[in-house]
Amino acid sequence: MSDLQGKDWRLEQQRVHSVVNVIEEKVKKITQNAGKVSSDVHEIRKTFWDDVTVNMEEPDDIIETAASIKQQAEFLSERERTHKQLNHHLKTLARLKNSPYFGRIDFWENGEKSAEQVYLGIASLMDELDENFLIYDWRAPISSLYYDYSPGPAAYQTLDGNIEGEMELKRQFIIKESEIKGMFDTGVTIGDEMLQEVLGTNASIQMKSIVATIQREQNQIIRNERSKVLIVQGVAGSGKTSAALQRVAYLLYRHRDTLKSENIMLFSPNPLFNSYVATVLPELGEENMQQATFMEYLIRRLDREFDVEDSFNQLEYLLNGEEAEEYSTRVAGILYKGSLDFKKNIDQYVSDLSRRGLMFRDLTFRGDMLISKKQIHDYFYSLETSYSIPNRMQIVKQWLLKELKRAEKRERTKGWVEEEVQFLDKEDYLEAFKKMQEKNRFTENTFDDFEQEQRLLTKMVVREKFKPLFARVKSLKFIDIPRIYRQLFEQELGDAKSLPTNWDSICSQTLDRLNNMEILYEDTTSFVYLQDLIEGRKSNTAIRHIFIDEAQDYSPFQFAFIQMLFPYSKMTLLGDFNQAIFSGATGSTTVLTDLDIVGEEVETFLLTKTYRSTKEIVEFTSELITDGEKIEPFNRKGRKPVIERVDQWKVNHRILEKISEYQKEGHRTIAVICRTAEESRLVFEKLKNEISVHIIEKGTVSYEKGILVIPSYLAKGIEFDAVIVYDCSQYRRERERKLFYTVCTRAMHELHMFATDDLSPLLEAVSTDRYALK
């Protein structure tokens, strides 16, 4: 063990100061440089046209002028780029100055004369002469030693092969404002002391980077480059989301020449989550990837005429519903519509549509039929069947555009047009005038040609009115997708064997909704999928890597659909089947439980250690689920969770008391988690008169430190210092087990559950010494 309080500490602190000096020198130089570049940019913008020779007399002159403008613009954009890079560099240096590094390893490579000291930070830093690394980026190949080994024989991979040697020292630092606040030498992986420090702090409203304490098994996930699909099944609080974000940073670093943040997409569980994770990558000096919820993606693609149910409303329905026939039909529908069997049936249906059954919409104008759906139908089916449906749709589209142009011409002679022309605004006349001028520039015509003007105005009026029609045709709205989707439930399906027994009731339930212009969440994916098969959709080639967080909430159909949308993407799926709150409510399969669906090049990782909650909370929550004994808590002590029985009329009062206690103890984010949105609203209405409290609803995009009231399913992925479960006796049904587990695992330090009724049967398997009953 080294002298961590004495000489070693002094030496290390001296080094920190000398590194900080180097940083300051660099900052000075770059600031000067940036100032110069900035004034260049300013100057070029100001004098842009002075340095351009503008001459439009002859065609040759025009070409020369264009070249001159281009050259000047390129010069400007080069300067702007440099300015941006220098600023980026300055920001990184500012971060390094505060905390230059968090780790050190001394590695003696086989065949070398001495060990090299490798200091790890969020970015690399060279010495004044740009010869030696003072800090290595945590993502550099050599840095993996820090995460993968304890002192002893160690190796790391480079492009040139495996480098072997001996790690003589592994040291960790906590440095703030250039001062060492903590320093630990570690024997086993990333030492407990450092983790203790990090995990013992308060919950934050934004996720933190875990770069200094990434664990070995997390590092395997972060640096994996072999597999096309990487699946992480990790228990609650095992660092799946953290690992995912570090992985994004790692990939951006490794492939910095080819991969940019806009090539990476994260599907997140709810809008709140987006802001929760938003600071991690910028903290690491990287830009955020694209982010959306899958539902947002689907809604953008759905016909606006529909009233679309979202995933949260579907869950509310499942939570509130009673086991009536309508309910069980719906559950069976959800199960089947998420399955690959249903997808197969849709594929078969579309292949039949190639010969018959497609439906179209009339194209009408001012109440007159221009082209009827029958005409479109006949035209479509007159085309060669060897062409795919989307190809034929393109031919139909071209035909329709031509027909529309003809109709547009015919329309110009109609009486209504002349009338409209007379009522045109001054601006319209002006526009016509400009157009005429343009047109007549190379001719002898003059504008006072009244007839010409009238003709142009007529054209303008009709064009304007036809615009929506052209737009409809261009976006293939002449295909009646809603009816085609509806038809799927009105006829025999190809593979009847896979259909659930109550398929007929499912069909009539679905049709009722569709006829009402409502679309249920379970129909959204299949609807858009069908639409894509018919309209043809160019796959997205820009996205090269997809991350799906909370992957357990995706059905196999949804996952197959995402694969189809992003065929060139690698995928990282992160989830926990014990938190499958959506499928838990219906018992359906999810991507995580049905792993074979993804085929080859798949690698699966298991994370069984959990870091979020105290040991006592983990010991309680792991008894709520099967196989919970495999979950390994991190050894952080706390109080046992409490279940407090309380009369309904007293519960709000007790919540207030509990909140006040927690606040006195220093907890900063306290969540009162309710089962549903409605319950959250009721509780919020009661509490808000007494204390400052925020409510989280499905559209909420960010939150602040303090007291929150939040429905169970929106707390997914997020954590709080203390969790108060509004009424745990309400989670009674087996299908709510995973929801209850998810709710309780949000707590870092304290978990307090009120029970206004009998204890839930879900607690039967939990030993009574795992919680305190009041």
Ligand X SMILES: Nc1ncnc2c1ncn2[C@@H]1O[C@H](COP(=O)(O)OP(=O)(O)OP(=O)(O)O)[C@@H](O)[C@H]1O
* Residue ranges binding ligand X (CB under 6 A): 195, 198-199, 208, 210, 213-215, 218, 234, 236-242, 576, 579, 611-612, 717, 719, 745
Q: For ligand X, which is the closer residue by CB, 95 or 240?
A: 240
Minimal CA–CA distance to 705: which of 734, 679, 671, 728?
Answer: 671
Helices (H), 587-676: 615-621, 651-664
Q: Facing residues of 479 across strands?
A: 360
By beta-carbon distance, which residue lies closest to ligand X? 239
Q: For ligand X, which is the closer residue by CB, 143 or 509?
A: 143
Question: Cα torsion at 541, 545, 550, 552 (round to 10°)?
Answer: 70
| Integer Cα distance of 682 and 700 in angstroms | 17
Residues 6+ apart with CB under 8 A from 428: 457, 460
Q: For ligand X, which is the closer residue by CB, 605 or 611?
A: 611
Q: For ligand X, which is the closer residue by CB, 273 or 306?
A: 273
| Integer Cα distance of 48 and 69 in angstroms | 9
CB of 613: closest distance to ligand X in angstroms?
9
> What are the strands, taking DSSP E only, across 350-503?
363-365, 368-371
CB of 550: closest distance to ligand X in angstroms?
7
Residues 6+ apart with CB under 8 A from 469: 363, 365, 370, 404
| Integer Cα distance of 598 and 1 in angstroms | 48
- Name the DSSP class of 321: -
Q: Which residues are annotated as a binding site?
A: 234-241
Q: Which amino acid would we find at residue 127?
A: D
Task: Write the burial class of residue 333 (CB in 10 Å: 0-12 exposed, 13-18 middle, 19+ buried).
Answer: buried
Please state, as a whole number, how many other Cβ atoms lie within 10 Å of the Cβ of residue 321.
14
| Integer Cα distance of 594 and 343 in angstroms | 15
Q: For ligand X, which is the closer residue by CB, 158 or 702?
A: 702
Ordered strands of the 570-575 beta sheet: 290-292, 264-267, 545-549, 570-575, 229-234, 602-607
CB of 573: closest distance to ligand X in angstroms?
12
Q: For ligand X, which is the closer residue by CB, 547 or 561?
A: 547
Q: Which two tokens stand for residue 2?
A: 């080294």
| Integer Cα distance of 219 and 202 in angstroms | 24
Which of left, alpha, beta for 402 (phi over 0: left; psi -120 to 50: alpha)?
Answer: alpha
Reduced to 3 DSSP states, what percent helix, strand and coil does the chain have, rounded to the nearest 5? 50, 15, 35
Q: For ligand X, which is the closer residue by CB, 633 or 717?
A: 717
Q: For ligand X, which is the closer residue by CB, 215 or 526?
A: 215
| Integer Cα distance of 581 and 737 in angstroms | 8
CB of 631: closest distance to ligand X in angstroms?
11
Instruction: Report whether 587 contacts 735 (CB < 8 A).
Output: yes
| Integer Cα distance of 326 and 512 in angstroms | 12
Question: Does the CA dihedral 539-540-545-551 come out positive or negative?
Answer: negative
CB of 102: closest distance to ligand X in angstroms?
11
DSSP characters over 570-585: EEEEEE-GGG-HHHHH
Instruction: Report whether 76 contacts 41 (CB < 8 A).
Output: yes
Please state, as a whole number, how many other Cβ atoms lie within 10 Å of the Cβ of residue 503.
17
Q: Facing residues of 700 across strands?
A: none
For 760, how many CA atoms within 13 A lie in the half-sphere containing its CB?
Answer: 23
Q: For ligand X, which is the closer residue by CB, 488 or 715?
A: 715
Q: For ligand X, which is the closer residue by CB, 545 or 612?
A: 612
Helices (H), 234-288: 240-254, 271-276, 280-283
Q: For ligand X, which is the closer residue by CB, 214 or 308?
A: 214
Q: For ligand X, which is the closer residue by CB, 170 or 240?
A: 240
Q: For ligand X, which is the closer residue by CB, 237 or 482?
A: 237
Q: Which residues are annotated as a binding site for ATP?
A: 234-241
> What are the strands, taking DSSP E only, across 336-469?
363-365, 368-371
